[in-house]
A and B are shown apart, each in its own frame.
Chain A
Amino acid sequence: MKKTMAFAAALLAASVLSGMASAKTLVYCSEASPANFDPGTTTGGNDFDASSRTVYSRLVEFKHGGTEIEPGLADKWEISDDGLVYTFHLHPGVKFQTTDYFKPTRDLNADDVVFSFDRQFNKQNPWNGDKYLPNLTWDYYTGMDMPKYVAKWEKVDDLTVKLTLTEPNAPMLANLGMDFASIVSKEYADQLEKAGKMADFSTKPIGTGPFQFVDYQLDSVIRYAANPDYFKGKEKIDDLVFAITPDATARIQKVLAGECDVAPYPNPADLGTIKANKDVTLLDQAGLNIGYMSYNTTIPPLDKPEVRHALNQAIDREALIKSLFQDAGATPAENLIPPTMWSWNKDVKADAYNPDAAKKVLEAAGLKEIQLWASDRVRPYNPNFQRAAELIQADWAKVGVKAEIVNYEWTKYRSEGKKKDRPGAFQIGWTGDNGDPDNFFATLFACSAIGVSNYSSWCDKDFEDLIQKAKKTSDQAERTKLYEQAQVIFAKEAPAFLLAHSQVYAVVRNNVSGFKMDPLGIHRFDGVDKAE
């Protein structure tokens, strides 16, 4: 009987859904299967594309195609003068999605917001631990230092939420636009808890985002429908389909054959074919990352800025980038942050290639030997540390500096490399999280990051004052000025050799409009349309 019922239900679903074929459908060939659909518990870009950016919304959002913050579920917010209290005013009448597995009885309110964060740190919350899912680690919540900065979340009234911090931290706003900060439904959570089906929360998501979840066939296809109640207005496409296609060449062939409309991350070798095809467009952008090489600024003669500049000048950066990134290309880095990020200082330029000048300085400084570190791991900001090391070694040999290449396996490489007294030049890089300059400057070069992620052991008072002040200032225009100055000091002091920001690509069929490359590396389908 049960089987017959299931069969009948399946038939019904099939007939209902087959009727959708005439609707406007956009197919995205995604690169990997999502781990699950609860963005608080996952870490991959593909997880977020499939959950937070489709199904959910946040208090604040990143501007489509940028790193600036704009209103989301919160129409407006106030920050107290001491920078400790954030008061968010929620958009009234926001509806959670109605699906065959959940029918909301109330609109979004402050309880949902408080619950969305509370579950990520409060051990007493039943959704924090094993009762919900086994081995939960809430990586982003802890990774972004939220436990350190957040004192409490409070409901003021149904449409007002108050966040109190332990110390002023301007990047907090950007953190709240991140995927882990997606707002979930407390009513849905309560219902599942009561029914003893808590795990469903991660497989059948309910949010307030532009698309609602329809079905997921494991490792194969994810289906969404436009959310008819979306508070920013229903999307132009009716159905959104993720066809999971891990092989890059197959993905591109699918776009070329019209089997999908958008695909990310083509193989560099296929870029020529894509450019030659008149039905598709290749989009590209400098990624939110930086590849660089840190000098230990505490060990002579690397403690002198002129020596570090000379080492930079001795490297033929253009040839190095060409050899490393080949057809994929990369944007040579002028600053630590990529040009897509707000506060990027266009007047700052990296050291130009000048081996003759370099040779003189290095000879005078008596630098004859140096350690040059490399690891085996392929990173988005540096596809081949070893090759880079060999090329730099050759360049330095020309100016009379003999480099000894030091190799370690990736985890050991980083633990050895971050030691305060590690000698020489250390190749590393960073991929940004929240599009806030603090996430680059403070994470990588704050005095407090020495021994953690400040591989240059560089602590410059002027630079430190600027970035700490910027961290505590809420006004973005003011912060922009501070970071611009910080970049000038960084260029003058040269604690590192800046390599490049790797290029990110996506392929889009020409009848698709409104799809934008996102500096945060996410793929969003709100505002996207497709001509028949």
Chain B
Amino acid sequence: MLRYLLNKIALLIPTLVGITICAFAFVRLLPGDPILAMAGEHGVAPARYEELKEQFGFNLPIWEQYARYVGEVATGDFGVSISSKRPVLEEFKTLFPATLELSFFAMVFAMVIGIPAGIFAAVKRGSWFDQSLMGTALVGYSMPIFWWGLLLIIFFSGYLGWTPVSGRIGLQFFFKPITGFMTIDSLLYGKWDAFRSALSHLVLPAIVLGTIPLAVIARQTRSAMLEVLGEDYVRTARAKGLSAARVIGVHALRNALIPVVTTIGLQVGTLLAGAILTETIFAWPGIGKWMVDSIFKRDYVVVQSGLLLIALIVMAVNLIVDVLYAVINPRIRAA
């Protein structure tokens, strides 16, 4: 087990180096000179240009800029935002709970609907339900998040008036964050109204962000279930005269869930990518919106370090999933 774990960690190192290179190169490959871009319509006098170039370290050879950047990151210094002048790590810490809360609810939505739907489709294989579910899942998977989000806003918030348009909580509620999670903080302050408001603000963005994972989970659950349902031990269970619910719920589902758990873990990347669009549409103050804002502001420090921090989180989650998988399924460890 230890060997397996070390192996996985060792594999992370080249990935990590690759990510720092990507994040570093990405910003420098963007068209336009970052200093001129920052200067805006006025342009900048040549002397001032050189001064700024030196100030931001752009005058150094590219490898030296990279070495400097890696050195800083290695010591936990992710730089200071060009536009807000605040440390990037501090902004990240402030905004990350919002993304985490939204992702959590999106995942709950995806699992609560996706897993039962997948099971049902597998059990009723070939039925109209199965066909239409898989069709819908395909549509869900291909849905452009931007369009889907606006459609839901216009219908549920604009036309029906059931849900708030955007934001995290009603503007009348105002408290200093304790955990940074609105649903938890509102309860800690004992404000039920605020809690309800936070939940109602979560509905649409969680549905939008959870749509793609929902489709993936439903399809994965279905195929895993189909595989398990054909196994000998399921036939044995049926032959023993166990109820259908028990056969599916206990004997089949438990085994089918192993690949589903992995799938869920791997959806973290999808969630963070989806958060960029979802948060922008719903004015959700998380790291996705933060990244988009920074790209528009040409704040290359935030883009570079934000990219790295997000990649680190995805890597960490993937590592945890790998380990969990090995814990659940001993065959993996031996392989």
- The CA-CA distance from A33 to B95 in the complex, in Å, is 13
> Which A residues lie within 8 Å of B82 (CB)?
135
Q: Are B283 and A245 touching (Cβ within 8 A)?
A: yes
- The CA-CA distance from A431 to B91 in the complex, in Å, is 32
Partner of B289, one of A134, A246, A253: A246
Q: Are A253 and B36 touching (Cβ within 8 A)?
A: no
Question: Which one of A352-360, A406-414, A502-510 is at the B interface?
Answer: A406-414
Interface residue ranges, B against A (CB under 8 Å)? 31-33, 36-43, 45, 48, 52, 55-56, 80, 82-86, 91, 94-95, 98, 150, 153-154, 157-158, 161, 164-168, 171-178, 189, 191, 280-283, 285-286, 289-290, 292-293, 296-297
Q: Which residue of B lies closest to A12 (CB)?
A: B176
Q: Are A218 and B55 touching (Cβ within 8 A)?
A: no
Task: Offer 26 A-B interface pairs, CB within 8 angstroms, sorted by A.
Answer: A9-B176, A11-B189, A14-B175, A14-B191, A18-B174, A32-B296, A35-B83, A35-B84, A199-B86, A203-B86, A217-B285, A219-B293, A220-B285, A245-B167, A247-B282, A249-B150, A250-B166, A250-B283, A257-B157, A257-B161, A409-B31, A410-B31, A411-B31, A411-B37, A452-B43, A453-B43
Partner of B80, one of A134, A247, A253: A134
A residues 33-59 in Cβ contact with B at 8 Å: 33, 35-36, 41-44
Asked if A215 is at the interface (CB within 8 A of a chain B CB), the reply is: yes
> Which A residues lie within 8 Å of B31 (CB)?
409-411
Q: Give A270 Cβ to nearest chain B Cβ, in Å.
A: 10
Q: Give B148 Cβ to nearest chain A Cβ, in Å.
A: 13
Asked if A364 is at the interface (CB within 8 A of a chain B CB), the reply is: no
* Most chain A CB neighbours (cut-off 10 Å) among B45, B94, B166: B166
Q: Are A220 and B168 touching (Cβ within 8 A)?
A: yes
Q: Would A13 and B175 be within 8 Å (CB), given that A244-B283, A257-B165 are in contact? A: yes
Q: Are B165 and A259 touching (Cβ within 8 A)?
A: yes
Q: Which residue of A lies closest to B56 (CB)?
A: A135
> Which A residues lie within 8 Å of B45 (CB)?
142
- The CA-CA distance from A411 to B172 in the complex, in Å, is 45
Q: Are A219 and B32 touching (Cβ within 8 A)?
A: no
Q: Which residue of A lies closest to B34 (CB)?
A: A411
Q: Would A137 and B41 be within 8 Å (CB), given that A13-B175, A245-B167, A249-B153 are in contact? A: no
* Most chain B CB neighbours (cut-off 10 Å) among A199, A247, A259, A452: A247
Q: Are A254 and B293 touching (Cβ within 8 A)?
A: no
- The CA-CA distance from A402 to B75 in the complex, in Å, is 60
Q: Are A247 and B280 touching (Cβ within 8 A)?
A: yes
- The CA-CA distance from A143 to B48 in the complex, in Å, is 11
Partner of B281, one of A44, A215, A250: A250
- The CA-CA distance from A17 to B173 in the complex, in Å, is 9
> Which B residues lie within 8 Å of A410 (CB)?
31-32
> Which A residues lie within 8 Å of B48 (CB)?
142
Interface of B is mostly: loop
Partner of B285, one of A32, A42, A218: A218
Q: Which residue of A lies closest to B287 (CB)?
A: A219
- Interface size class of chain A, counting residues whose CB lies under 8 Å from the partner chain: 35 or more
Since A10-B175, A220-B283 are in contact, a sample of 11 more A-B pairs with Cβ atoms closer than 8 Å, ordered by chain A residue number, is A11-B189, A27-B171, A35-B84, A136-B85, A143-B39, A203-B86, A219-B289, A244-B283, A253-B157, A257-B164, A452-B43
- The CA-CA distance from A308 to B96 in the complex, in Å, is 57
> Which B residues lie within 8 Å of A21 (CB)?
172
Q: Which residue of A lies closest to B174 (CB)?
A: A17
Which 7 A-B pairs rank lowest in CB-CB distance, beginning with the nearest? A220-B285, A219-B285, A10-B176, A35-B83, A133-B85, A14-B175, A143-B42
Asked if A465 is at the interface (CB within 8 A of a chain B CB), the reply is: no
Q: Give B243 Cβ to nearest chain A Cβ, in Å.
A: 49
Q: Would A246 and B37 be within 8 Å (CB), given that A33-B293, A35-B297, A409-B31 are in contact? A: no
Q: Which residue of B lies closest to A42 (CB)?
A: B83
> Which B residues lie within 8 Å of A143 (CB)?
39, 42
- The CA-CA distance from A202 to B85 in the complex, in Å, is 9
Asked if A483 is at the interface (CB within 8 A of a chain B CB), the reply is: no
A1-36 vs B, CB cutoff 8 Å, 1 = contact: the mask equals: 000001101110110011001000101000011011
Q: Are B165 and A14 touching (Cβ within 8 A)?
A: no
Q: Give B135 Cβ to nearest chain A Cβ, in Å.
A: 28
Asked if A498 is at the interface (CB within 8 A of a chain B CB), the reply is: no
Asked if A430 is at the interface (CB within 8 A of a chain B CB), the reply is: yes
Q: Are B41 and A431 touching (Cβ within 8 A)?
A: yes
- The CA-CA distance from A43 to B178 in the complex, in Å, is 33
> Which A residues lie within 8 Å of B280 (CB)?
246-247
Q: Are B285 and A411 touching (Cβ within 8 A)?
A: no
> Which A residues lie within 8 Å of B154 (CB)?
249, 253
Q: Which residue of A lies closest to B84 (CB)?
A: A35
Q: Give A144 Cβ to nearest chain B Cβ, in Å.
A: 8
Asked if A241 is at the interface (CB within 8 A of a chain B CB), the reply is: yes
> Which A residues lie within 8 Å of B80 (CB)?
134-135
Q: Would A43 and B40 be within 8 Å (CB), given that A245-B283, A253-B153, A253-B165 are in contact? A: yes
Q: Are B85 and A241 touching (Cβ within 8 A)?
A: no
- The CA-CA distance from A218 to B284 in the complex, in Å, is 11
Asked if A243 is at the interface (CB within 8 A of a chain B CB), the reply is: yes
Asked if A221 is at the interface (CB within 8 A of a chain B CB), the reply is: yes
- The CA-CA distance from A403 to B37 in the complex, in Å, is 30
Q: Are A411 and B281 touching (Cβ within 8 A)?
A: no
Asked if A234 is at the interface (CB within 8 A of a chain B CB), the reply is: no
Q: Would A215 and B174 be within 8 Å (CB), given that A41-B85, A246-B283 are in contact? A: yes
* Most chain A CB neighbours (cut-off 10 Å) among B84, B95, B177, B290: B84
Q: Are A14 and B85 touching (Cβ within 8 A)?
A: no
> Which A residues lie within 8 Å of B157 (CB)?
253, 257
- The CA-CA distance from A241 to B167 in the complex, in Å, is 13
Q: Are B166 and A36 touching (Cβ within 8 A)?
A: no
